[in-house]
Every structure is written in structure tokens, then in C-alpha cells.
Amino acid sequence: MKQKMLYFFIIFAIVTGAIFQPSQAEAQTTKVYWDGILMVPGQVGKIKVVKPINLWKRTSNGLVFERVLKVGEQYRVYRYDNLYGGQYGLGGNMYITKMAGYVEYKTPSKAKLKELANAQGNTVPGNSSNLFPTEATPTLTGGKVLSQSVTQLAPGIRKKYFDIDGAIGAQNVFMIEYDGKTSNIGFKTELAKDQLIGLETTSSQANSVEQNDSYHVVAGVNADYFDKQGQPIDLMMMDGSIVSTPQTNINELAVLGIKGDNKAIIGAPKVSMNVSVNGQSYAINSVNRKRLANHLVVYTRDFAATTNTNELGTEVRVKVESGKLNGQEVLTGTVIENITGVGNAPLNKGEIILSGHNFASQFLQNVQVGDKIEIQTAFTPAEWNEVREAVSGRYHLVKNGTIQTIKVAGVAPRTAVGVRKDGSIFTTVIDGRTTESKGLTLQNTAKLMKDLGANYAMTFDGGGSSTQVTRNLGDSKVTVDNKPSDGNERAVSNSLLFISKYKTGPLYTITPASNVMEVFQGAAYTELSVPVKGIDQYMNPVAVSGNGKVTSSILKSSGGKQVVSATPGTYSGVVTYDGKTTNIKIKVTNTLDSIVPSNSFLELQKGQTVQLSAKGMKNGQAVLTEASAFNWTSTVGTVQSNGKFTAQNKDGVGTITVKYGTKSITIPVIVGNVAPTILESFNKGIFNYEATGDRVKSVSVQEAKNDRDGTKAIKLVYDFTNTSGTSGAYVNAKTKLTISTPAKKIGMWVKGDGKGNWLRAQLEDASGKVVHLDFDKNVNWTDWRFVEAILPTGLSYPLKMDLPIRYMQTENANKSNGEIIIDDIQSIYKD
């Protein structure tokens, strides 16, 4: 019998798990509910048992009876087929036969299926481009990918993010990838402030590029290392022309080159250049580099405002007529100026300066205004002659599929670029120097690039320079994706940019301005909406106005409002704008900064009813105003869920507590007629009290007779004479006076000494907040008087009074000695 019961329990657990037990598929970050039931991927409907019916298990030998299902049981349905007269599949090979009147089958609406698809990151057919494609998780030799995300930036260009549990620590890896085949995609190298000398952040470089509806900067990374003037160290080409020639030895040189057909190569090219004029040829040593002894240098406007040369040479100004400084063209021009012994010639657009020292100067001195010049450029290997854009780095990481050995120590942020065999190009930025992302050695960076498919790979500048920028969906400018190790984006010399040349079209889909919308548990909203950004079919931004309406299964309609019915967590929602929809994550929270009740203190008659309300505050805004969203409790009456309070039918003092999440506030309540509570009468003596002081000559406490009513009291004797600064004489309670019931005021009888001192008290609430009470700032009387101090609202009870009396003087000219008598310290509940 026990075995049968155990078997029955196991079968029941398996079957009911089809709807009630979480599976791997259910462990999603956003949840979608349908009729109160959590939906899961693959679910096509649900079934409810109307009359008792058999549950069957399909086996190789046919159907096996499991048990009889009871009326009211519900199950997810994953499939339906015509076998055995037509059956609904519940998962786990469990089936229910379709029988009219025995089961009720429902299918989710298209909107609900769309919501589920959005929650899974799937696209909505016919209504949204594949903005967040899914990809297989890469296998890495240096760690395990814990999570990843993919975003389509433009046709053929994706950005990716990997959170990696690495062998040497956590790693955050940012990646931009071009598939190597999509048309209308290009690359552009960019200089800081449009010249070689100077520095500018990667994002600023990208956003300074002139864009139009057919030319969009969608992503970029920092590129070459640079010197103290901001000049990139090695070869750079822009728009098909050499901007700077390399300086590193050929066996250590690392350059990325992009050809006109977007084919990328990584190598160490050698550049040869010469100028011909009047039938004579002379070798050019460099482009836009410092002019050294006997060197002939070509300067262009890309260098700076002037050549920055001294007077020890000759400079020939040439107006460019055709061609560029590359391996496929010959630059031709006409000499328009020749100056010797001056230097620092201004650089203008459309012109170049040939600047020579010594032997090179002598060659240029023979050049005349009006002469025609030609500059020829040749690269080795020859394939570099086809390169139109080029930027350099430093270390070769992968060559022809083989990881290189790099004997350079140190873990740091890294930027790298790789080329795959299929022609695709990708960059990586690895954050470093934080607990979130440690960074990598160069050797481990090489392994990562190889794991990501690089056939050839090299580094760009790393450390604090490592930066990735991308254009977020719907935006027109790029922003920084990673967390540069300096704490902010570093200015660098140049960058590599990814360009989309797809012309902006009409609105195709939308994306929310923020991917996560925060709402509050139990809150009621008139209509939830979020700002949206428009996107065309090529992921270009399209201007839209207005907000998109938010719907979700966690938003229940009530009284014309949307009420948040879910507990704290992250759920899926749908944003609709102009017939377009997109998904959004809805974060339900119950975290507030504070609660502000409509009444800070209540005085009511017995049985009286009042309507209460409260505001939930966050970041200075009232984010929660529905009374029913709060939890209301009272010790002196009853509170309905909507905040309506009815006082008890007897005199008393108590509280109403308003709570939401971890925040709560207490409202003191007085019902009927309530006498004050005496906290200390001193009739049992003053053994619990001692005198302390600050900047006093002397201070003491003595037992005294109250000549007001004949009872005992306490006398505070002080001497402030010949002291400077704020003097204070204090009555200190060894065992603090406790105020358990919320009060309105603290009062006491005081026989003054007419010396004009300041009478105060000090207490602390249950949260540790110190409260100073002021009874009178000028005790100018000598008879008995009753004094009161109002207690602030919002305190946490019980209160502990450690200094019932603080008698103080702030002015040196008013320092004196004297004594005051105190009696009947009390909590007061009514005005």
C-alpha cells in the first residue's frame, strides 16, 4: 500500500509539475501570466478538467493509464495531435484525450503570445526588426560565460556583452562585430580634433563626424598608442590617404588595414614614398612626423595648424590637383611657394608642405614656383596598396590562427581587434582594475581573441584608454558602453569607427527610452506610459513624439486605473505606440525613501471615524498615493485597507502604523480624554541623576523641596563665570526616562533664576535619531512656571530621554551662576 501511495505521489508530482512546478524554461528574468498562471516557452494553451478523466502516458507499447484527474485541475498544454482519437500533450509524455464536456481547452491571445515572445527576447513577426538576436554562448579557454547580450546596431553590425567568470577573476567583455558581407557598411578612422597633435575622447571623436541620413556612426573603439603631444605612434590612413607613417621597427609593427571592399588585413606594412619634380626624384622619409636631420617630410592639414619646424630648412608649398597618398594613386600638384630659413609654415586644406633639412633642403631649393610635382607611394606587402583606412596598435595576438607568445607581464584593461577567416571583423574591450572586471594579460587577451574566432588579431591602446562607444537604439549620438578604469573616458589620439550607410527610412519599430520601468506594488496608475524612440528598418533613429502605452498581465484594471498586482520582481510588458509594439521589463518594487501620512497626529472622540491617506516618497517625488497600497494597523481602533480609521470606544493613547515594504511611520493617536503621564516626580529621590557640564566652573544636583506643592524636586546648581564659549549644566539620567506611548509634548515645572539662560532637553528615538527639545531660550523668571516642548512627528518609539535638563548660555557677557528647580517631567497627549 505504501509503495502504491509513493508511486501515486511521484506521478502526481510529475504531472502537476507541468503547470505548477518551475522548470528551466520558467527560470526567466521576466514573467508572463495568463489567467493567473505563469506561461512558459513552448506553451500553446491550457486545459481545465470539467469531469473526471483519465491521464495517459505514451510508451513504446502504447498508452499506459496513470490516474483519474479530478474536476478543477489545470495543466499547461504544449502540443495537440490526432493520435488515439486526438490528445493534448502536457509534457513528460503525459496526455489527456480530447472528449467533449470533459475538458475545457483555451489558447492564449496573440497579444499574450507576443508578450511571452518579448519576454524571451524573441522578435514579433511583421512588427519589429531583430533588435536583440539570440546567439550560441561561446566556449572560452580562459573562463565561463555567465551571461551575454546581443544588440543589432545596423544591418551586419552587432554589439555584444559577456559577463565572464575568468580563471584570474571576473571579466566584462564588450564587443563590436561586422559580419564582413553586409553592404552599405563602412569603416572610418578618426583623429582627435581633426589633427594629429592633440587628444579627444573616443565618443567626442565619433560624435564630431559629420553625419546625414545616409551616413551614420554606429560604434567605435579607441585605437593607436600615442605620445605626449597626442600623436598616434604608427601608420594611420584616413579616407584613402596616409595621415602618418609608422615609426616602430617593422618586426614589431602591428597595423589594421581596411580595403575599399571592407576586407580587413592585419600586418606590418613597409611604406616607400618619393617625390618627383623636373625629372629628379627624392625619397620621402615620413608623413606628418618630426623633421629630423636630412629628412624630407610631407606635412598635410591633418598634422596641425603649422609644420612646427624650425628655420633650418626649406619648405615648399604645393597645391594638390589630383590623387592621394596611397598605394593606388599618384598625388600631383603645383608648387605655389618656396621658402628657406623660416620654418613653421601654415598648413591649409587642399595643400601639402614638402619640408626638408640639409640635403633634403638643398633638393627643395631647386624647386621653383609653378613646377609640377608627383608623389608616389608603395606598400610592401603589395596588398596594402588597396588599403583605404588604417590604424595601428602594438602587439600581434594571433597570426594565421596561431596564438602568439607575448612575454609582457601585467593585468590591465585591453582593446583589441580581430579578423576571422570569413572576413568578419570584431573589436573587444575588456574592462579592468575593478572588482567587477579584473582585466587580462596580453597572453590571455590573445587566447580570448582566438576563442572568439580571430584568425589574425592585434592590440590597440589599453589601460585607461580602453573605450567602446555605440549608438543606442533610437539615438543619433554614441555613448560609452564600458567603464573606463580612470573613472571617466580618457582623451586619446584616434579611433576606429563603424559606419552605416543605410538611408533613414520611415518608422518601422520602437524602443522604450529605458528598458526597465519601475512601478510600485499595489499602486494604481491612470495610464502607464513611457517615452519611446523610433527606429527604421535599418536601426536608424526616427523622430517620434509622445509616449507609448504600457500593458502587462501584472496590471489589473480597477476603477478605470491600472493596479500593480504583482509582488516585487521583474516582469514583462508591452509598449504600444502608433500601432508599433515592443517589449519592456517592468520592475515591481516596494522600496521607498519615506512615507508621509496625511495626519502627523490625531486627537479623536471615542468611536470617531476619519479618512486617512499617505504618500510614498522616492527621490523627492510622491510615487505612491493609493491608500490601499499601504498596510494600516492601529492599537486604539480599526483601520480598513483603504485607510478609513475608526477610534475605539474608550479613552486611550496609541498609534496608527502605516507600512510599505521596509518603511513605516507611526501616527500618535489620542482617543477621548487622556491625562499626562508623569515620567519623573523625584518623590523617590534623585539617586538616578548626576550633574555634568561643559565649560563650567562648577555644577551639581541636589534634592530640593517643591515649595509649589510640598513634594520633592531636583535642584541644578551651576557656575558659568569666567568661562568662554557655550557653557552647559546638565542633569544626566543614569537610567534613561522612557516614553513608550507617542506623545504630543514634553512638559515640566521649573522654578527659574532669572539669569536668561537657555532651557533644553535631549532624547533619542528607537532608530538612534537624537532630538533636541527647546523649552525656553530665555529663563527670565524666578517663580514656578510650567514649560512645554513639542515633540517632532515621525519619531520611532519608544523614546529614551538621557538629558532631561540642559541649561545653557552662549554669550560670554551673560555668564553667571545660579540654580533652578525642576519637578514633574511629563508626557502630554493633548493641547
The full 3-state SS of 345-375, as one line of letters, equals CECCCCEEEEEECCHHHHHHHCCCCCCEEEE
Residue owning grid cell 512627528: 793
At 569 the three-state DSSP class reads strand
Burial of residue 690 (CB within 10 Å: 0-12, 13-18, 19+) is middle
Strand partners, 157: 154, 178
* CA–CA distance, 168 with 140 (Å, rounded to integer): 13
Per DSSP, the residues of 395-440 read: -EEEETTEEPP------B-EEEEEE-TTS-EEEEEE--SSSS---B
Cell of 362: 638643398
* Dihedral in degrees, nearest 10, Cα atoms 521, 523, 527, 528: -30
Q: Contact 752/780 with Cβ under 8 angstroms? A: yes
Q: Contact 384/267 with Cβ under 8 angstroms? A: yes
Q: Any idea what DSSP says for residue 306?
A: B
**CA 628 to each of CA 100, 595, 615, 662: distance values in angstroms, whole numbers, following the listed order:** 44, 14, 11, 17
CA-based angle 652:656:661, to the nearest 5? 160
Helices (H) and strands (E) in the chain, counts: 5, 70
Cell of 250: 617593422
State the amino acid at position 6 in one-letter form.
Answer: L
* CA–CA distance, 690 with 735 (Å, rounded to integer): 11
CA-based angle 807:811:814, to the nearest 5? 80
Strand partners, 701: 716
pLDDT of residue 8: 42
* CA–CA distance, 32 with 120 (Å, rounded to integer): 10
pLDDT of residue 30: 61
* CA–CA distance, 103 with 87 (Å, rounded to integer): 11
State the amino acid at position 297 in one-letter form.
Answer: V
Residue owning grid cell 592590440: 459
* CA–CA distance, 23 with 496 (Å, rounded to integer): 44
**CA 773 to each of CA 338, 490, 626, 777: distance values in angstroms, whole numbers, following the listed order:** 87, 52, 34, 11
At 827 the three-state DSSP class reads strand
* CA–CA distance, 287 with 307 (Å, rounded to integer): 11
- Nearby residues of 396 by Cβ (< 8 Å), 6 or more positions away: 254, 266, 404, 456, 457, 458
Q: Any idea what DSSP says for residue 50?
A: S
Cell of 77: 498544454
* CA–CA distance, 151 with 34 (Å, rounded to integer): 29
Cell of 674: 487622556
Burial of residue 768 (CB within 10 Å: 0-12, 13-18, 19+) is exposed
**CA 366 to each of CA 293, 315, 360, 483, 607: distance values in angstroms, whole numbers, following the listed order:** 19, 12, 10, 56, 112
Radius of gyration of the chain (CA): 40
Burial of residue 509 (CB within 10 Å: 0-12, 13-18, 19+) is buried
* pLDDT tens digit sequence for 14-50: 344 444 433 333 334 467 788 777 887 778 889 999 9
Q: Contact 499/187 with Cβ under 8 angstroms? A: yes
Q: Any idea what DSSP says for residue 226?
A: B
* CA–CA distance, 613 with 630 (Å, rounded to integer): 9
Q: How far is CA 35 from the centre of its chain?
A: 34
pLDDT of residue 120: 52
* CA–CA distance, 272 with 250 (Å, rounded to integer): 13
Strand order through the sheet with 621-624: 594-597, 614-618, 621-624
Q: Which segments in the chain show pLDDT lower than 70?
A: 1-30, 60, 114, 117-129
Cell of 769: 535619531
* CA–CA distance, 313 with 343 (Å, rounded to integer): 7
**CA 160 to each of CA 129, 137, 180, 421, 474: distance values in angstroms, whole numbers, following the listed order:** 17, 11, 16, 20, 18
State the amino acid at position 259 in one-letter form.
Answer: K
pLDDT of residue 78: 82
Q: Contact 108/47 with Cβ under 8 angstroms? A: no
